[in-house]
Chains A and B, each alone.
Chain A
């Protein structure tokens, strides 16, 4: 039996008030095996981002259980969840979300710094990660001095540099043209195949879906059968 990277059991997420509840997720149960490259697809408002957020420990589900590796997120304190995100997760966001005052290499180093890695070692790891994603020569560029595609590649480098168990990408191609999206997806594929990172991406872009090995369709907060 394969190892599971992520497992959700009857996960429900309700927003709004008790009187007017809004169901973002309704009893979502899924399993992602280690090394999988999975896309969560579905129309806007179907709960894709919410599912990524609860799996990533960015918010807690109203009901249900989530396990990442051997960690049950529901039993973690806020501080432990932060550590789970730091050591077990990597995030790539729709809007790149790099720290604007840091250069490319510093953005990647930032996460290693949080992990307490020494200066020389983290600089080496960060440069190596940037090279792996074709960013040789752009180490000292600030985000404002890079294209969208380059920024998104820095974001993947940042996400994978700490060798996370799971990489979560929320609509990563939303701000990219098709050529850049293709290039970006190849880098994701590289991270998945070469580095063995389990990737879970929320997308409604068929191009991105094409690179994933499995698609999970969400409709109205439920997995469509």
Chain B
């Protein structure tokens, strides 16, 4: 038995041709069949995207300044120090040959700036007042390139010569000292003898209360002379261009590192910053995940309703020869179009809100002291950073979530009984 010949224009044809030409307009028109629902879903995508991008841009814009603030308060990005000094900061755990190594590092292109510091706990006094303090020996002419200490001086000057000191405002008050006064520093030097320095107060700085109460800075040469540490210090401190990419800087410092010394980067030296950033990333990631989940569920709900409402239509499409994979593809085109509309709207909203904030900044209503001590060196003004990953992450996550959720919903299409679908209202 032979059937009627297939029409010549149909012979050998199958679903190889692109169906996009018809499916695209069908999907687009389907999208607007229930305008209110589409608008609500688009709004969910747009506002979800706006919030996620705003939060991410603020995060992105705050971490750089947090790291810069924190590292410029002392640690720098990378340090060379005696292997025991970080855990047990004793004066005898010093590192030697400072001048030659600083000279070598000055010519290292991987480093932005480099300096050396020494430190000791000592008694500081202005008779009859005495208290304990952390004495820092610094190289004043190098310090401005590495830290913000010189800019913290609110009265007098940063020390420019030997036997000069800057002290914290609280310490100055406690010792009844002012600029021009004299301070006596007494401590123990490396061989157990007495280390002593007499210095003139050249400036008073303001920082966090803790530092204002306990820190005093003198020049490194004065420190070395007073504590009998010729050409020695406790840290070589370096800054690199990008604190998130320190490999080259570490290599440069490795070249001058001696046997008993270690290299440490800012994440080890100031773990409160990296931990603060990590906690912030995790807590915000949870918030963003929940937001994106809500948006994705909203899209999923739209398509659950869509498939429910169009059961009969799908039944007809299958009856006349539409393969289920094509119906799924059409549904997918529909969700992609919905996503595109939502992302365009969300992108516009984000641009309108975030771009102006990138220039004006967001002022955090708290004191610098509180932000630095309690919030891991949070800056007082945050400038959102609209980097590529901020732009991409939310739309990509919503897009992937939408496709996955709609694919789950579309399983119903694969199981749809054609005759039952044709009978549905």
Q: Show the binding face of A for B, using Cβ within 8 Å.
A: 3-5, 34, 53, 56, 58-59, 67-71, 79, 82-83, 85-89, 91, 93, 97-102, 106, 109-111, 113-119, 121, 125, 158, 162-163, 165, 196, 198
Contact A114 B322, beta carbon cutoff 8 Å: yes
Selected interface stretch from B12-20, B146-154, B243-251, B275-283: B12-20
B258 → A minimal CB distance (Å): 74
A173 → B minimal CB distance (Å): 17
In the bound complex, what is the Cα–Cα distance between A93 and B318 (angstroms)? 13
Selected interface stretch from B67-75, B260-268, B309-317: B309-317
A19 → B minimal CB distance (Å): 21
For A67, list chain B residues within 8 Å (CB): 1
Asked if B323 is at the interface of the complex by the 8 Å CB criterion, the answer is yes
Contact B10 A162, beta carbon cutoff 8 Å: yes
Interface residues of B in 278-329 (CB under 8 A from A): 312-313, 316-324, 326
In the bound complex, what is the Cα–Cα distance between A79 and B15 (angstroms)? 11
Contact A3 B419, beta carbon cutoff 8 Å: no
Asked if B418 is at the interface of the complex by the 8 Å CB criterion, the answer is yes
For A71, list chain B residues within 8 Å (CB): 3
Contact B17 A91, beta carbon cutoff 8 Å: no
In the bound complex, what is the Cα–Cα distance between A106 and B22 (angstroms)? 8
Q: When A59-B419, A162-B7 are in contact, do A102 and B26 touch as well, CB less than 8 Å? A: yes
For A93, list chain B residues within 8 Å (CB): 316, 319, 422
Contact A165 B13, beta carbon cutoff 8 Å: no
A49 → B minimal CB distance (Å): 8
Please list 17 pairs of residues, one from A and one from B, whose beta carbons are closer than 8 Å in the complex, sorted by A's number: A3-B1, A70-B2, A83-B14, A86-B321, A87-B6, A89-B321, A91-B320, A99-B26, A101-B26, A109-B22, A111-B321, A116-B16, A116-B17, A117-B17, A125-B9, A165-B4, A198-B4
Consensus secondary structure, chain A interface: mixed
Contact B322 A82, beta carbon cutoff 8 Å: yes
Choose among A3, A113, A114 the residue that contacts B4 (Cβ–Cβ < 8 A): A3
For A99, list chain B residues within 8 Å (CB): 26, 313, 316-317
In the bound complex, what is the Cα–Cα distance between A111 and B320 (angstroms)? 7
Interface residues of B in 391-425 (CB under 8 A from A): 417-419, 422
Most buried by B among A83, A91, A101, A162: A101
In the bound complex, what is the Cα–Cα distance between A165 and B3 (angstroms)? 8
Asked if B33 is at the interface of the complex by the 8 Å CB criterion, the answer is yes
B312 → A minimal CB distance (Å): 7
B321 → A minimal CB distance (Å): 3
| Contacts A3-B1, A102-B26, A117-B9 supplied; 13 other A-B pairs, CB < 8 Å | A3-B4, A59-B419, A67-B1, A68-B3, A82-B318, A82-B322, A91-B320, A93-B422, A99-B26, A101-B30, A106-B22, A116-B15, A162-B7
